Amino acid sequence: MKSKQTMASLGVFALMLVAWEFLPPALGVPRYILPTASETWRELMLMIPRDNLLRHFLSTVAMTLLGFGIGSLFGATAGYLLGLSEFWEGVFSPYLLALQIAPKVAFAPLFIMWFGYTFWPKLLVTVLIVFFPILVNVLQAMRTIDRDQVNLARAYSMSPAQIFWKVEFPASIPALMAGLRIGATLAVIGVTVGELVGGNTGLGFLITYGEGQANAAMVFNAILLLTLIGVALYSAVAALEHRVLHYIPRVVR
């Protein structure tokens, strides 16, 4: 089954490449609007020495990993702390809701005004975007923990710390991992927004630069590399989830 899925996926990919290569010229689409696959590849090879592509790529990778790590840590910590106290959850919920509703993209210009054209705006936007899905997932998991298990732990005279580490935390891990998977995709978006608005390095900067040069192939290459970073980070989190949650049976359909 797995090999058939892989072959089918590769077949779809090959068809997409063929369509990308031959459909734009057949439809009379100019290369500055939609370059073919081969033209995009040639531009990629030129970008490596001409535009120092590796430096921009590594800058985006580093900022994505850093923002994802910090946002995940803050989101999970806040989710657990609020989940342990119904009182403080009620106190902070309105402010967290307001911050969640506010569009994160709108904070990027403000961060640039505060910190200038440094790495801080990119990092802060990424942390904000990653923070909330993990917070919400963890908090929801803490709300829905089986109270009978908690009461049984109390009956055995477990301390609050023991109850958390032996009952509540293990029960919340599936929701935490789901939040991390969502955050992995959003981290790339956050970094890209920061680089588009005020960056001078990174793949988002190359998108802006390519747009200014009317170089659609450069923009395509930057988007494809951003997608590659997101897929790699998501796959790493999914592999970690598979390893951590190995005890949960998989439903075979």
CA distance linking residue 21 with residue 47, whole number of Å: 20
Instruction: Reply yes or no on whether the pLDDT at 52 is more than 70.
Output: yes
Rg of the Cα atoms in the chain: 23
Count of beta carbons in the 10 Å neighbourhood of residue 123? 21
Instruction: Reply yes or no on whether the pLDDT at 251 is more than 80.
Output: no
What are the tokens at 29? 């689409």
CA distance linking residue 135 with residue 157, whole number of Å: 29
pLDDT attached to residue 250: 62
- Tell me which amino acid residue 7 is: M
Tell me the pLDDT tens digit for each residue of 80-98: 999 888 888 888 888 888 8
Average pLDDT over residues 6-25: 87
Tell me the pLDDT tens digit for each residue of 16-37: 988 888 888 888 888 888 888 8
Average pLDDT over residues 139-159: 83
CATH pick for 37-243 out of 3.20.20.70, 2.60.120.620, 3.40.50.2000, 1.10.3720.10: 1.10.3720.10
pLDDT attached to residue 1: 62
Higher local confidence (pLDDT), 188 or 115: 188
CA distance linking residue 61 with residue 222, whole number of Å: 12
Q: What are phi and psi of 182, to 5 degrees?
A: -65, -45
Strands, E, within the chain: which ranges?
Answer: none
pLDDT attached to residue 249: 64
Higher local confidence (pLDDT), 159 or 219: 219
* Unique residue bearing structure tokens 């992995």: 184
pLDDT attached to residue 84: 85
Higher local confidence (pLDDT), 134 or 86: 134
CA distance linking residue 168 with residue 133, whole number of Å: 19
Kindly indicate the confidence band of residue 144, based on its pLDDT and cuts at 50, 70 and 90: confident
CB burial class (10 A; 0-12, 13-18, 19+) of residue 95? exposed
pLDDT attached to residue 253: 52
Give the contacts of 153 (CB within 8 A, at least 6 positions apart): 162, 163, 166, 167
Tell me the pLDDT tens digit for each residue of 154-212: 888 788 888 888 888 888 999 999 999 999 999 999 999 888 887 788 999 999 999 88
pLDDT attached to residue 24: 85
* Unique residue bearing structure tokens 């999914």: 238
Q: What is the pTM of this model?
A: 0.88
pLDDT attached to residue 31: 82
